[in-house]
Amino acid sequence: MSLSDTASKKIEDIPNHQYYKTAIVTIVLSIGMWLAIYTTPKYIQYICKLQNDAPRDHQKTVRAFGHNLESGYLHNVFTVLNRIGYINTTSSDWDLLWAHNYPFSTLASELKNLKPHQRVNKFPGSGYITNKVELATSGIKYIPPAFRLPKDKQKFLEYAGANPGKKFVEKNNDHRDIRIKNITDINLNGNSTFIQEFVDDPLLISGYKFDIGVYAIFTSIDPLRIYIYKGDFLLRFCPVKYYPFDPQNIDKYVVGDDYLPTWNVPGLKYYYKTLGYGMGESLNAYLRSKGRDPSIIWKQIEDSIRIVGLTKERNLVESLKRFPSKENFFEMMRFDFVVTEDLEVFLMEANMSPNLSSAHFPPNRLFFEQIIYNLLGLVGLNNAVKSNQMSTLENEMRVADKNIMVYPDECNSALCSSSCISPMCGLCRPCLSPENKRNFLRAYLEHMNRGECKRIYPPLTLMNSEEIIIYDDGEEDTPENQLQYRWFNGKCLMDSSWCT
């Protein structure tokens, strides 16, 4: 007897309930029919075919550009990208180009025709920051005096003569073969080196000299926005103790590839391995235990990166003019600093495509993966949906016009209701240009997605809405940066989380 026959017979045994009999029979028959149809092998095969035949163009794609990619130095990068839904591609139809090498020469034709959703992890012209000679000889605050040879030969001789107690190191643009040399041993007519003053009173921990690597993220140029990853910092120690000092032993004063890691430094080992702090917090705790204030170091570091960005922005703006849009690019660099015994900070170099491989030091894996993850989140590349496939409603769900409006009282004033001449009125909705609106929408999303990143430019301080920003070198900021600064200031006045 079938399932439906059995159910019908049971129902017939229930007297005087014809309505309920009919309802129950209908339900049972419907369930039986559903099971008969939707559990058949043919239907299951049909559903599987639909899933397999579904278009896969919704998947986010990343293309790598660099030398010897097969060696695996981008393993951590692609591990994170794959985890958040990216698949690798070699075609020109990519969503993200992850370039380890500077791509704007080799891929020039391709990068001049970028689609709005395509993003590149390099800025055109960023070499003005990351080129060793260019940065060292720029005369920027926090950078030890340096001289390009043979161009600055006379200036160097005059400086050395006026500072007879100073030591100098000879460097090349690859930042290799660094060594302290006597002036008589330097080839002053060479054209591939530069001379830089040696910082000879470094802060030591357990007797070792070290440098601090800070990861800075440039998300926009003109207007300029710079963040640093504050989740941790890279500490690298010279493998040999600084004293007794010997200029012939570069392992005492040059941080190389085989540096001494934090977890092997006696003064930091307990904080890092036993208590579980990161490198940066281990350093902070150590300094506080010695009665020192580590915030003195971090304030100088932030100021240094900010000044470099502002000084070099003009060069990047010129480089960006070769491209239809400046909105396709972002870049992360590592700025390396040394600290003196008096907690004075010096910037030594900025690295394009800093090392993110933990092959040499496996304990650095988590550190690098978190940097990469926070970077991708900050610039909006960890969305579940490809940006070019988002509807207007989906985009508004993330950020809408109301989220970027500032200065409600001022914008309601008679002045701003009738004119856009006042700088403050320029931020009111009727006065916003499409480009400024897009910029503020992106800045809003960066703030919401900043994770462990801290914005250092525009700075987090409040100012009068009509104030003009003047920097240490007396240079007035650009109109675009001024407008953006006022916008961030307006957000800060409305919500204190924008000030921290």
Instruction: Give the model confidence (pLDDT) of 186-197 as tens digits.
Output: 888 877 789 999
* Residues 338 and 375 grouped into a single domain: no
Indicate whether 185 belongs to any domain: yes
217 CB contacts (<8 Å, ≥6 apart)? 226, 227, 228, 229, 330, 331, 332, 375, 378, 379, 453
Task: Kindly report the number of other CB atoms within 10 A of residue 199's CB atom.
Answer: 19
| Contact between residue 25 and residue 8 where contact means Cβ atoms under 8 Å apart | yes
Specify the pairing of strand 168-172 against strand 96-99: unpaired
Q: What is the model's pLDDT at position 500?
A: 78
Count of CB atoms situated within 10 Å of the CB of 250:
17
Q: Is the pLDDT of residue 164 over 80?
A: yes
The rounded distance, in Å, linking the Cα atoms of 426 and 405 is 11
- List, in order, residues 6 or more apart from 187 with CB less than 8 Å away: 149, 193
Cα 303 to Cα 293: distance, rounded to the nearest angstrom: 17
61 bridge partner residues? 87
Choose among 305, 116, 142, 140: nearest CA to 224.
305
The stretch 29-36 carries a mean pLDDT of 53
Domains: count for the chain: 4
Residues 380 and 453 in one domain: no
Note whether 238 and 316 are same-domain residues: yes
pLDDT above 80: residue 31: no
Q: Mean pLDDT over residues 132-151, rounded?
A: 95
pLDDT of residue 474: 42
Residue 175: per-residue pLDDT = 56
The per-residue pLDDT for range 35-82, each reduced to its tens digit, is 444 444 553 343 334 334 434 456 899 999 999 999 999 999 999 999
Question: pLDDT at residue 12 above 60?
Answer: no
Distance CA(171)–CA(177), nearest Å, equals 7
Quick one: what percent of the chain has pLDDT higher than 90?
76
pLDDT of residue 285: 98
More confident residue, 206 or 477: 206
Residue 139: which region, alpha, beta or left (left: phi > 0; alpha: psi -120 to 50)?
Answer: left
Domain assignment present for 40: no
Question: pLDDT value at position 395?
Answer: 86
- Whether 376 and 453 map to the same domain: the answer is no
Q: Which residues contact 315 (CB under 8 A, 6 or more apart)?
A: 125, 128
Residues 416 and 479 in one domain: yes
DSSP 424: T
Please tell me whether residues 245 and 275 are part of one structural domain. yes
Q: So what's the pLDDT on residue 54?
A: 38
Say if residue 380 is in the same domain as residue 295.
Answer: no
Least confident of 2-16, 417-431, 436-450: 2-16
Q: Which long-range contacts (C-beta less than 8 Å, at least 24 apart) are formed by 109-112?
A: 111/323, 112/322, 112/323, 112/324
3, part of any domain: no
Contact 297, 343 (CB under 8 A): yes
pLDDT tens, position by position, 407-438: 999 999 999 999 999 888 999 999 999 999 99
- What is the reported pLDDT for 171? 86
Instruction: Specify if 448 maps to a domain.
Output: yes
> Does residue 445 lie in a domain region?
yes
The domain boundary residue, chosen from 154, 174, 197: 197
Averaged pLDDT for residues 334-342: 98
Which structural domain, as residue segments, surrounds residue 258? 127-136+200-351
Residue 277: pLDDT over 50:
yes
Q: Is residue 390 in a domain?
A: no
Q: Is the pLDDT of residue 337 over 80?
A: yes
Q: Are residues 192 and 246 in the same domain?
A: no
**Amino acid identity at 418:** S
- Give the residues across from 195 on adjacent strands: 147, 170
Q: What is the pLDDT of residue 50?
A: 35
Q: Please compute the mean of the pLDDT values over residues 151-175 and round it to a whole number.
A: 89
Mean of all residue pLDDT scores within the chain: 88
Rounded alpha-carbon distances, angstroms, from residue 160 to 163, 254, 429: 5, 22, 57
Token duo for residue 464: 């009068």
Mean pLDDT (whole number) for 139-160:
96
Using one digit for the tens of pLDDT, what is the confidence trace for 374-387?
999 999 998 766 66
Inform me whether the pLDDT recorded for 28 exceeds 70. no
Q: How far is CA 88 from the centre of its chain?
A: 21
State whether the Cα torsion 117-120-125-129 is positive or negative.
positive
Residue 181 to residue 241: CA distance in whole angstroms: 20
| Structure confidence by residue, pLDDT tens digits, 378-413 | 999 987 666 666 788 888 899 999 999 999 999 999
At 173 the pLDDT is 65
- Structural tokens at position 308: 């470099």
255-276 tens-digit pLDDT = 999 999 999 999 999 999 999 9
Q: How far apart are CA 343 and CA 338, in angstroms?
A: 9
Structure-token pair, residue 34: 């559903």
Can you give the CATH number for the domain in which 85 is found?
3.40.50
Residue 103, in any domain of the structure = yes
For 84-94, b/e burial (b = at least 16 CB within 10 A) is eebeebeeeeb
Model confidence at 14: pLDDT above 80: no
Residue 383: predicted pLDDT? 79
Q: Cα dihedral sign for 173, 175, 177, 179?
A: positive
Pair 135, 129: CB distance under 8 Å: yes
Mean pLDDT of the region 228-238? 98
What is the structure's pLDDT at 2?
Answer: 47
205 and 319, same domain (yes or no)? yes
Look up the CATH number of the domain holding residue 306: 3.30.470.20
Last residue of a domain, one of 182, 197, 212: 197
Handedness of CA 228, 480, 122, 337 (dihedral sign): negative
Same domain for 220 and 345, yes or no, is yes
Residues 169 and 132 in one domain: no
**How do residues 279-309 score in pLDDT, each as one tens digit?**
999 999 999 999 999 999 999 999 999 999 9
Position 462 scores a pLDDT of 62
Say if 339 falls within a structural domain.
yes
What average pLDDT does this structure show over 84-101?
A: 96
Q: What is the pLDDT of residue 47?
A: 34
Same domain, 341 and 215: yes
